[in-house]
Amino acid sequence: EVQVVESGGDLVQPGGSLRLSCAASGFTFSRYWMSWVRQAPGKGLEWVANIKEDGSEKYYVDSVKGRFTISRDNANNSLYLQMNSLRAEDTAVYYCARDRAVAGRFCLDTWGQGTPVTVSS
């Protein structure tokens, strides 16, 4: 079964750091781009970042640039999101998703259940 499972969400103080993990299984992880998407409480979805199959390309939403870093470990089928200088507005459920490319078009076709991050003093 193709699946991704997030972990690492927690309560953290403003200015603090947190590292989220996403464990992939059931597919050849190294052949897919991967994304992080977040959802603040009661709000809509926000794409956060993604990373190419080999980690050579990374893209971010402007609000996290310079604070968040996406990375991956293909040997261990794992995706990460290092979050530094956290702010109250980063409070959200963070989803890991597989980016499936079909004829040059992307599709977030597999999602985890999400891991909650709360930034509060």
Partner 1 sequence: AIQMTQSPSSLSASVGDRVTITCRASQGIRNDLGWYQQKPGQAPKVLIYAASSLQTGVPSRFSGSGSGTDFTLTISSLQPEDFATYYCLQDYNYPWTFGQGTKVEIK
Interface residue list for partner 1 (CB under 8 A): 35, 37, 44-47, 50, 59-62, 95, 102-103, 105-109, 111-114
Minimum CB separation of residue 14 from partner 1 in Å reads 24
Minimum CB separation of residue 121 from partner 1 in Å reads 27
Q: Which of 19, 56, 32 is nearest to 107 (CA)?
A: 32
The first and second tokens of residue 57, run together, are 């390309």
Answer yes or no: are the C-beta atoms of 90 and 117 closer than 8 Å. Answer: yes
Separation between Cα atoms, residue 79 and residue 81, nearest integer Å:
7
Minimum CB separation of residue 23 from partner 1 in Å reads 15
Q: 34 vs 35, which CB is nearer to partner 1? A: 35
The first and second tokens of residue 61, run together, are 């939403």
Q: 80 vs 95, which CB is nearer to partner 1? A: 95
Q: ∠ at Cα 88 (92, 65), nearest 5°?
A: 80
Minimum CB separation of residue 67 from partner 1 in Å reads 14
Please report, for residues 102, 103, 104, the alpha-carbon distance to residue 80 in angstroms, rounded to integers and kept in the order given.
24, 27, 24
Q: 32 vs 60, which CB is nearer to partner 1? A: 60
Q: 29 vs 60, which CB is nearer to partner 1? A: 60
